[in-house]
Amino acid sequence: MQGRVVTERVTLMGGVDWHRRLFDALIPLPEGTSYNAYLVKGSEKTALLDTADPATTDELLQQLEAEQRIDYIVAHHAEQDHSGTLPELLVRYPEATVLATEKGKGMLVDLLHLPPERVEAVADGEQRSLGDRTLTFIHAPWVHWPETMLTYLDEERILFTCDFFGSHYATSRVMVGDDAHVVSAAKRYYAEIMMPFRKPIERHLARLEDLDIAMIAPSHGPIWDRPDVIIEAYRDWVSGAVKNVAVIPFISMHGSTSELVDRLVTELVRHGVTVRPFDLTVTDIGDLAMAMVDAATIVIGSPTVLGGAHPQAAYAASLANALRPKTRFASVVGSYGWAAGSARALVEAMPALRVEVLDPVLVRGRPRADDLEAVDRLAATIAQRHGAL
Ligand code: FEO
C-alpha cells in the first residue's frame, strides 16, 4: 500500500498487517493490526513519526522511495513494532537524527543496537521546528512502557500518540469516520495493553485537556477524526466506576463445575446482574480481558486438579492479576474429588486485585441441593454488593 494522505503535509505510512493473528506471542488479533508511521513535511525539514514492525520494513522503505532527506525520526516508543525499521532507515538516511525521551534513547540503543550518537533525547515540552510546522514533545510514561512520549503538531492540531488510543484493527480507512466498531477494537486494545496503567493514563488525559486537538493519530488502527469519542471512552474506562456485570471464566472436566456455573448464571440473571460466562476451552483471551474492563465482579469456576486449580483457570486468574481491572469483588466456584485446593490457589493468584473475596462454593463431586443453594446465596450476595455500588 502506498502512503495515504492525512493532510497536505502529513502522510500515513507503514504497514497494514491484515493477516497477523497473534501479538507478542500472547495477544490474539482477530482483526489484524497496522503499524502507522507518519511523514510530516515542513517548509524546511521533514520528520518521520514512528517507523514500523520489521515484518513491514520493505513496505515502509518503498513508501519513502521519493524522500531524499529525512531530518528527524521521532521514536515515541521503543517497542519493535514501531521502532523495528530504525536500523534500516538510519542507513538510508545518514543525516537523520532519532528523537526520543532520555529513557527511550537508552532502550533504543540496547534493544536495536542503534549508535548512541544518532539518538538525541528531547525534554518534556521541547519543540523542534520543521520551518512552517512545529513538533512539540509530550512525555507520557507508562502508556504502556516507561519511555513513551507523544508529539503534537501545533499548526495542524494533530496529536500523535503511538500505542495510546490505538486499536489492533486492520482497515483501509485512514480516519475512523462513522465506523463505530473502532471504539470496540480500541476497548479490546485498552484491556489487553493499557488497563494495568489506569492511574498514569488518568494523569495524561488530564494534561491533554489543555491541548486543542483536531485529530488523534495513533500508530495502530485508524485516525480519530473526532478525538472526543476516544478521549471520553478512555475517561470512562480508567475511571473508578464499575458496572453491574459479573464475569465468569470457567472450565469443567466432568460437568460438575459447569453445573455450578449454570446455576450461578441463572441466579445472577434473576437478580438483574449482567453475566458474561467464558468457557476457557474456547475463549479468546482478548474477549475475556475486554469483559473485565468495567465488570464489578469476577467469579472463576474451576475443578481441582492434583490438589490445585485447573491450569486453564489458573491462567485466567493470572491474566486478571496482570491486567489489574478495577473489579471490586471476586469468588470461586468449583468441584473437587479429594482435595479442595482450587479456591485458595486462585485467590492467591490475584494479589494485585483490590477485591473483597466473597465466600467460595466448593463441592465434592456433583453438586447436591444444598450446594446449589450455596451458589444461590453467592449470587444474592453479588447482587446485593452491586446494588450498593
Ligand atoms: Fe505497539 Fe507497545 O507497541
Nearest-angstrom CA–CA distance, 103 and 376: 52
Q: Is the CB of 371 under 6 A from ligand 1?
A: no
Of all protein residues, whose CA lies closest to atom 2 belonging to ligand 1? Answer: 79
Q: Which of 78, 80, 77, 114 is nearest to 97 (CA)?
A: 114
pTM for the model stands at: 0.95
If you average pLDDT over residues 198-215, what whole number do you get? 97
User: Could you read off the pLDDT of 19-64 as tens digits, one per residue?
Assistant: 999 998 888 999 999 999 999 999 999 999 999 999 999 999 999 9
Q: Is 212 exposed, middle or buried (0-12, 13-18, 19+ CB in 10 A)?
A: exposed
Domain ranges of the chain: 4-238, 243-381
74 C-alpha to ligand 1 centroid (Å) = 15
Mean pLDDT of the 296-320 span: 94
**Is the minimum distance from the CB of 79 to ligand 1 under 6 angstroms?**
yes
* Whether CATH 3.40.50.10470 fits 4-238: no
Strand 274-279 with 243-250, pairing: parallel
Shortest-distance atom of ligand 1 to CA 144: 2
Residue 318: burial class (beta carbons within 10 Å; 0-12, 13-18, 19+):
middle
284 has pLDDT over 80: yes
Instruction: Tell me the mean pLDDT in the region 185-209.
Output: 97
Angle between helix axes 369-387 and 256-270 (nearest 10 degrees) is 40
- Check whether 319 has a pLDDT greater than 90: yes
List, for residues 44-54, the tens digit of each pLDDT value: 999 999 999 99
Sorting pLDDT into bands at 50, 70 and 90, what band is 307? confident
Question: Which helix (H) or strand (E) element contains residue 200?
Answer: helix 198-208
Buried/exposed 25-51: b ≥16 CB within 10 Å, e otherwise: eebbbebebbbbbbbbbbeebbbbbbb
- In which band, very low, low, confident or very high, does the pLDDT at 340 lie, cut at 50, 70 and 90? confident
pLDDT recorded at residue 1: 86
Q: Is the CB–ligand 1 distance for residue 81 below 6 Å?
A: yes
| Closest atom of ligand 1 relative to the 166 alpha carbon | 1
Strands 274-279 and 308-309 come out as unpaired
Q: Rounded to the nearest whole angstrom, what is the distance from the C-alpha of residue 82 to the centroid of ligand 1?
A: 7
Span from the CA of 274 to the centroid of ligand 1 (angstroms): 32
Give the pLDDT of residue 133. 98
- Check if the beta carbon of residue 245 is closer than 8 Å to that of residue 211: no
Q: Are 149 and 36 in contact (CB under 8 A)?
A: no
How far apart (Å, rounded) are the C-alpha atoms in residues 128 and 273?
53
pLDDT single digits (tens) 209-265: 999 999 999 999 999 999 999 999 999 999 999 999 999 999 999 999 999 999 999
Mean of the per-residue pLDDT values of the chain: 96
Taking the CA of residue 193 as reference, the ligand 1 atom at the shortest distance is: 2
- Alpha-carbon distance of 264 to 383, in angstroms, equals 11
Q: Is 267 close to ligand 1, i.e. is its CB under 6 Å away?
A: no
Q: Ligand 1 centroid vs 271 CA: distance in angstroms? A: 41
- Nearest residue by C-alpha to atom 3 in ligand 1: 79
For 175-194, what is the mean pLDDT? 96
Angle, CA of 226, 230 and 231, to the nearest 5°: 100
State pLDDT tens for residues 89-147. 999 999 999 999 999 999 999 999 999 999 999 999 999 999 999 999 999 999 999 99
For residues 17 and 316, what is the distance between their CA atoms, to the nearest angstrom? 28
Ligand 1 pocket residue status of 259, Cβ below 6 Å: no
* Alpha carbon of 219 to ligand 1 centroid (Å): 8
Confidence of residue 377 (pLDDT cuts 50, 70, 90): very high
Residues listed for the chain: 389
Percentage of the chain modeled with pLDDT above 70: 100
Fold classification of 243-381 is: Rossmann fold (3.40.50)
Looking at residues 362-382, what average pLDDT do you find? 97
* Ligand 1 proximity of 76 Cβ (cutoff 6 Å): no
Look at phi and psi of residue 136 and say left if phi exceeds 0, alpha if psi is from -120 to 50, else beta: beta
Distance (angstroms) between ligand 1 centre and the Cα of 298 equals 28
pLDDT band at 347 (very low <50, low <70, confident <90, very high): confident
Q: What is the 32 CA–ligand 1 centroid distance (Å)?
A: 14
Helices (H) and strands (E) in the chain, counts: 12, 22
Look at residue 389 in the predicted model and tell me its pLDDT.
83
Q: Which atom of ligand 1 is nearest to the CA of 162?
A: 1
The three cell numbers locating residue 161? 500518540
Decide if pLDDT at 341 tops 80. no
Q: What 3 state SS string does 314-338 have?
A: HHHHHHHHHHCCCCCEEEEEEEECC
The residue whose C-alpha atom lies closest to atom 1 belonging to ligand 1 is 163
CA distance 121 to 124: 10
- Of ligand 1's listed atoms, the one at least distance from the Cα of 145 is 2
Rounding to the nearest 10 degrees, give the CA dihedral for residues 94, 95, 99, 104. 20
